[in-house]
Structure 1
Amino acid sequence: MAQGHGSHRFYFCYLPNEDSWIKLDIVSDIAFGKFQELRTGLAADCLRRRVAHGPLWLPELRDKAWLQILHLVLDKGHIAPERVPVALWATAVASASDPVADFLDRKFGKGKAQDLLDLLGSGNFQDVPAAAASLSGNWTRNTSAPKMISVTHRVLRRVGPYLKGRGPVIGVLAPDGAGKTTLLVELQSHSPLPSTYVYMGLWSGSRHDPWVRRVPGAVVARKVFRILRGSLTARYVSFRGRLVLMDRLAEDTLLASPETKSRLGALTDALALRLQPTPDLVLVLDAPGELMFKRKGEHSPQILEEWRAAYLELAGNLPTARIVDASRSASEVRKEASSLMWRTLVGEEAADPVEPARLPLHLWTLLDWRFLLPVAQCGRVGYGGHIGPDTAASLSLLDPGATRIAMDGSTGAVEFDLVLLSQPDLLLFEKGIRSLSADGWICLQVKRKFTLGRGPHTLGGWKRALERAGFDEVEIHWLVPTLEHPERLVPTASETAVRNTIAHYSSARFGKAKAPVARLALRLGLFNIAAPAGIVIGRRVEEAGHQESA
């Protein structure tokens, strides 16, 4: 919607493949003047006289010429040098006997249309401003309606254009040097959508920092002020129907460990998360620490790399977060962000097939078990169980012909060199073993279960099941924090690795109650029973293969 622009309505569409925006300016009335205050009532007659031009309907040629003339004279008020050819063409096509010319004669007196044609035809374009002022003055002389429309539209234009409904909130999270501000400026300048840049910046420094630190409570007061300013501004802009582009969201507060926060700090963090509008899309920019250090020269590559990992971990917990590779050029990052923003605006889920370069982080982690295998090539891959379309697509990286293991025996005599089973039952587990070739590898992605029933219920139970089936080199790797969104693989045979992981994730995942339980299970040698999810890998030795076939 375009407030104060009469019947104009604007429609937009973004074409990701071409990185271009299409804008349609649709009008349902024909009005002229700076504020569309000079209404004509010509729309219905012009539509009746329209002509087909291929798949399009266009105004009849004489109507088109007269509407162009009135646009130049009444809307622009002068003939700019670049518009002289258009004015001369319209003057040559139009005549004083045309329907629009008859409207002008009835409005201003006989011969007015011909006078306007003579003025433009003479080439004395310096006299056009005076003629435009005369026409506008005569139009508004006998009625107050045009003046009222002009005043109303002038006020409404200060409100500005707006989107239909609430304006979406697009936020960007990343360490310093990833290109947050650059991306938001690029999005705002390249997009024709009405938008407002909002900076949250709860901890950003300023030249007043030395004075603020000396005053007791001033740091907290400044943080609260920034929370109120950023959150209320974003809510107001969104309420007005404008796109909100937020730099540094309140979700930054989730990165700090609760154990390092004071009660007042935790309270202000909660206030920020409560007052800020929920982002419709969070763009998490991912770039190597070395690159971010080169771009901005702040902190160190090691610190930036730690922050990078923290932001990627945070992205896994935000349902609207999308990871964007920020190591590319600014235009490439802006192109991908524009596509994600457009899908958010129109309410579409990503429909593109999963591409290797754009796999979500947790899917890359789900494939990390490949590097646990002592083989360079996995050969033929079979899979089964709770395998989603994204994971199935990512398995094609191992084997483009990766095949789902059929339970009806339709796989026949196919033997796989690698079998991946996600949360299998006993029937699928036995089918996977029979489908595996000698010296082949099996990978089980399993969860701890508390339900009754046949089959292993723990990671340790699945390990014993593989060993009883004749598998060798059986190992357990703990999936942290969950099977659905893992962030790292930790070998449970390494007490140091498990202990360090528990310490790292105790505040975010286990809590103060669960961390001691996990340490106790590790000390008692029961961690393979206590671990909630993991990957169990084993190799089917040749002798076991012969026994199975026998």
Structure 2
Amino acid sequence: MFTVAVIGPDGAGKSTVTQQVLKQLDLPLKYIYMGVNLESSNLVLPTTRLILELKRLRGGRPDMTGPPDPTKQAAPMPKNPIKRLVKEVKTAFRIGNLMAEEWYRQFFVWYYHNKGIVVLSDRHFFCDYYAHDIAVDRSQLPLMRRLHGFLLGNLYPRPDLLITLDAPAEVLFARKGEGTIAMLESRRQEYFRLREAVPHFETVDASQPLEDVVDQVSEIIWLFYQTKTGRVVRN
């Protein structure tokens, strides 16, 4: 079968829409969360769960570190060689764990495909890191990010159908109040760049009422399913 990924900046309604589509479409569908938020993840490596529980106990957020905020400058490396080494080791460990998570979830995608099931992905690692670790000059990145970008760009399967939920940055910010308008606008532009990187790219206006967004996303998936399988189904 195939993978449908639903992406969009914070406030676009990705999780809500995908859950509603699961209920609405009469297709063999399986939901997999393909992002960095532990509390939203339905598949997590045991080691990751342990690491993030320790992080929670220390007062940190219970999730993996996601793509950098494009509107902020990266923190400078410490001048102290010991502190620099510690930071580099922590970064290498974090990205190594992220890559393990990415492939762990991808193995489940393959498993469901082999059973004739369509995977509905809430977010997608390839899409989230495309503008940061893949479609960039990787020679300027740290070694582990270069490796991460190479694996995602050359070996990691891309979604067969990518649906982007889009709305003006001001609308997105008003919904959740997270990040900044500048950051949300930057994310929007990053996702538009994916049009050149995936075989099928669709955009849905996420500023519409939820019911209309769900109907449009369902219709796109339904028509794509018919095209891929030749089967006539009803949604």
Check 1:185–1:303 CA distance in 2 against 1; reply closer, same or farther (3 A cut): same
Does residue 254 (structure 1) correspond to residue 160 (structure 2)? The answer is no
- Where do 1:27-426 residues align within 5 Å? 167-201=1-35, 203-204=36-37, 208=55, 216=90, 217-249=92-124, 250-256=126-132, 257-258=136-137, 261-347=141-227
Deviation string, structure 1 residues 254-286 (Cα, Å, up to 9, x no partner): 111435532321212332345543322100111
> Which has the higher relative contact order, 1 or 2, with Cα contacts under 8 A spaced 6 or more apart?
2
- Structure 1 unaligned segments of length 5 or more: list them: 1-166, 349-550
Asked if structure 1 preserves the Cα contact closer than 8 Å seen for 2:159 and 2:198, the reply is no
Pairwise CA distance, 1:329: 1.4
Which letter maps to 1:258? D
Question: Alpha carbon RMSD of aligned pairs, Å?
Answer: 2.5
Give the number of the structure whose alpha-carbon radius of gyration is greater.
1
Check 1:310–1:269 CA distance in 2 against 1; reply closer, same or farther (3 A cut): same
Partner Cα distance (1:333, 1:258) in 2: 36
State the secondary structure of the residue aligned to 1:304.
helix
Pairwise CA distance, 1:302: 1.7
> How many percent identity over aligned positions?
29
Asked if structure 2 preserves the Cα contact closer than 8 Å seen for 1:195 and 1:243, the reply is yes
Partner Cα distance (1:303, 1:335) in 2: 28
Which letter maps to 1:323? T
Check 1:269–1:320 CA distance in 2 against 1; reply closer, same or farther (3 A cut): same
Check 1:268–1:333 CA distance in 2 against 1; reply closer, same or farther (3 A cut): same
Moved more, 190-199 or 274-283: 274-283
Partner Cα distance (1:275, 1:231) in 2: 11
Pairwise CA distance, 1:313: 2.6
**Structure holding more helix per residue:** 2
Check 1:330–1:275 CA distance in 2 against 1; reply closer, same or farther (3 A cut): farther
State the secondary structure of the residue aligned to 2:32.
strand
State the secondary structure of the residue aligned to 1:255.
helix
State the secondary structure of the residue aligned to 1:198.
strand
Which letter maps to 2:142? S
Q: Size of the alignment, in residue pairs?
A: 181
Partner Cα distance (2:157, 2:24) in 1: 24
Check 1:235–1:275 CA distance in 2 against 1; reply closer, same or farther (3 A cut): farther
Partner Cα distance (1:226, 1:168) in 2: 20
Which letter maps to 2:29? S
State the secondary structure of the residue aligned to 1:333.
helix
**Structure holding more strand per residue:** 1
Deviation string, structure 1 residues 369-389 (Cα, Å, up to 9, x no partner): xxxxxxxxxxxxxxxxxxxxx
Pairwise CA distance, 1:196: 1.2
